[in-house]
């Protein structure tokens, strides 16, 4: 199949899933055309069967104080669809990608039908899509997509609740992980030496938005650090980084906390760590938690959104209310001070991640594409 993919190129789960999906589909022989304003952060230099098309941002005119990106995107999606004879346009994150893709599809010549698939990722439904300026058009574009997928049962229900689009027929297709890249390694210290051999490494990866509660990651770590030697590695960047840095200073943890900034590849950092922490207030799935589990890390997280669909509480990690920092620190200590228990959780985490392997999940998208094309 010839498949167009639109996503945000920036550091975040929806762009990561969209890009990994494109790469997996390309490996399976499909032709993939990624359409966005910049090359997504997880797209390597060149991959066979994968082509990147940049949206033209050069159209300016004194009257246009704000550049109409959605229109420029629709034009590029349509242009690529016609020239590359796309069968499917698969957009990730509804706002504004689904609306632009709707326009692109409507502009197609009659003899070339283009199918539109929208994947809902999280805040496009729970936050941004519900804003007054976007609600009506987001609901419209979701309802007019040829198929809609959500990354968890939780997100599907939220979409029905928030948008009332009972005719959307949303299919749940979970996030997935490439088990060749994300796998446990025998000797974590051989990868990166964040700490001396017997000192555990707690890790968090995200785009440091408010809802990720990164300052709380530091506070949880501080409680652990009061009891045992440990190190915290923070991967990513975003609005809450200055606050997180301030908390580190306030608590005198400068020697034990490392900010690594944005990294395109995180597998090696996860492989060198012992425990993943994700105290988000909202999380439709938790791709970071899945990638960590695949690398053998038990997860301490909040029991919100789709996280309980990924992390099995008491088996692959421990879940708490988002503001229960004491509980999360207690759980972290319980795992980091009991090697046998930690090993049991590690094995269970790897096994659980296997249920979300690319090999299991990517064919679900292929089947959906085939079904939609046949209609
Ligand atoms: O926050 C978002 O909704 C955007 C998105 C992103 O680009 O960071 O993250 C969401 O999509 C991921 C991939 O499907 C999910 O694993 C994340 O849980 C989800 N984030 C939230 O729901 C906060």
Enclosing H/E stretch for 201: strand 201-205
Query: By the 8 A CB rule, do 89 and 81 touch?
Result: yes
In angstroms, the CA 183 to CA 205 distance is: 17
Mean pLDDT, range 134-144, rounded to an integer: 96
Which residue has the least CA distance to atom 23 on ligand 1?
283
Any idea which fold 2-176+358-374 has? Rossmann fold (3.40.50)
Rounded (10°) CA dihedral 350, 355, 360, 364: -140
Locate the ligand 1 atom nearest the alpha carbon of residue 124 and give its number: 3
For the chain, give the mean pLDDT: 96
Ligand 1 geometric centre to CA of 341 (Å): 30
Ligand 1 geometric centre to CA of 284 (Å): 6
Mean pLDDT, range 36-57, rounded to an integer: 95
Ligand 1 geometric centre to CA of 288 (Å): 9
Ligand 1 geometric centre to CA of 120 (Å): 9
| 298-318 confidence digits (pLDDT tens) | 999 999 999 999 999 999 999
Which residue has the least CA distance to atom 21 on ligand 1?
283
Q: Which residues line ligand 1 (CB under 6 A)?
A: 12-15, 17, 121-124, 151, 175, 207, 211, 282-287
**pLDDT value of residue 1:** 98
Query: By the 8 A CB rule, do 91 and 98 touch?
Result: yes
Concatenated DSSP letters for 206-235?
Answer: S---GGG-HHHHHHHHHHHHHHS--EEEEE
Question: Which of 63, 50, 33, 87 minimizes the C-alpha distance to 374?
Answer: 87
Q: Where in the chain is the domain with CATH 3.40.50.2000?
A: 2-176+358-374, 188-354
76 pLDDT more than 90: yes
**Residues whose CB falls within 8 Å of the CB of residue 42, separated by 6 or more in sequence, listed in order:** 15, 16, 19, 20, 264
CATH no., domain 188-354: 3.40.50.2000
**pLDDT value of residue 163:** 92
Q: Which of 6, 14, 40, 286 has most ligand 1 atoms within 8 Å of its beta carbon, as the pocket-test mutant? A: 14
Ligand 1 geometric centre to CA of 113 (Å): 30
**pLDDT value of residue 84:** 98
| 168-203 confidence digits (pLDDT tens) | 899 999 999 999 999 999 877 666 789 998 999 999
For the chain, the distance separating the N- and C-terminal CA atoms, rounded to the nearest angstrom, is 15
**pLDDT value of residue 188:** 73
**pLDDT value of residue 18:** 98
Instruction: Report the percent of the chain where pLDDT is more than 70.
Output: 99
Ligand 1 geometric centre to CA of 68 (Å): 24
In angstroms, the CA 241 to CA 146 distance is: 39
Locate the ligand 1 atom nearest the alpha carbon of residue 206 and give its number: 8
At residue 65 the predicted structure's pLDDT band, cuts being 50, 70 and 90, is confident
């Amino acid at each position: 199949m010839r498949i167009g993919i639109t996503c945000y190129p920036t550091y975040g789960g929806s762009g990561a899933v969209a890009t990994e999906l494109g790469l997996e589909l390309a490996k399976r022989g499909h032709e993939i055309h990624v359409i966005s304003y910049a090359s997504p952060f997880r797209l390597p230099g060149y991959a066979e069967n994968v082509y990147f098309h940049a949206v033209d941002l050069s159209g300016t005119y004194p009257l246009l104080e704000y550049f109409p990106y959605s229109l420029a995107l629709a034009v590029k999606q349509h242009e690529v669809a016609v020239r590359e004879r796309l069968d499917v346009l698969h957009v990730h994150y509804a706002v504004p990608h689904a609306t632009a893709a709707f326009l692109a599809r409507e502009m197609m010549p009659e003899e070339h039908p283009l199918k539109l698939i929208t994947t809902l990722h999280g805040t496009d439904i729970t936050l941004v899509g519900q804003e007054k300026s976007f609600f009506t058009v987001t609901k419209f574009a979701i309802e007019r997509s040829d198929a809609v997928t959500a990354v968890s049962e939780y997100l599907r229900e939220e979409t029905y609740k928030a948008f009332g689009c009972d005719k959307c027929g949303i299919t749940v297709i979970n996030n997935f992980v490439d088990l060749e890249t994300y796998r446990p390694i025998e000797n974590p210290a051989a990868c990166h030496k964040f700490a001396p051999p017997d000192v555990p490494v707690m890790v968090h990866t995200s785009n440091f938005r408010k809802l990720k509660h990164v300052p709380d990651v530091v506070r949880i770590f501080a409680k652990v650090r009061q009891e045992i030697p440990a190190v915290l590695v923070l991967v990513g960047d975003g609005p809450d980084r200055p606050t997180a840095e301030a908390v580190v200073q306030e608590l005198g943890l400068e020697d034990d906390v490392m900010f690594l900034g944005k990294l395109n590849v995180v597998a090696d950092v996860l492989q060198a760590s012992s425990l993943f922490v994700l105290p988000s207030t909202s999380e439709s799935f938790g791709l970071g938690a899945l990638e960590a589990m695949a690398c053998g890390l038990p997860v301490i997280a909040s029991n919100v959104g789709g996280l309980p669909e990924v992390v099995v509480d008491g088996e692959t990690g421990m879940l708490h209310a988002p503001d229960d920092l004491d509980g999360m620190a207690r759980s972290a200590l319980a795992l980091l001070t009991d090697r046998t228990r930690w090993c049991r959780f590690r094995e269970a985490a790897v096994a659980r991640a296997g249920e979300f392997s690319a090999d299991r999940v990517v064919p679900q998208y292929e089947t959906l594409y085939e079904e939609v094309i046949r209609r």
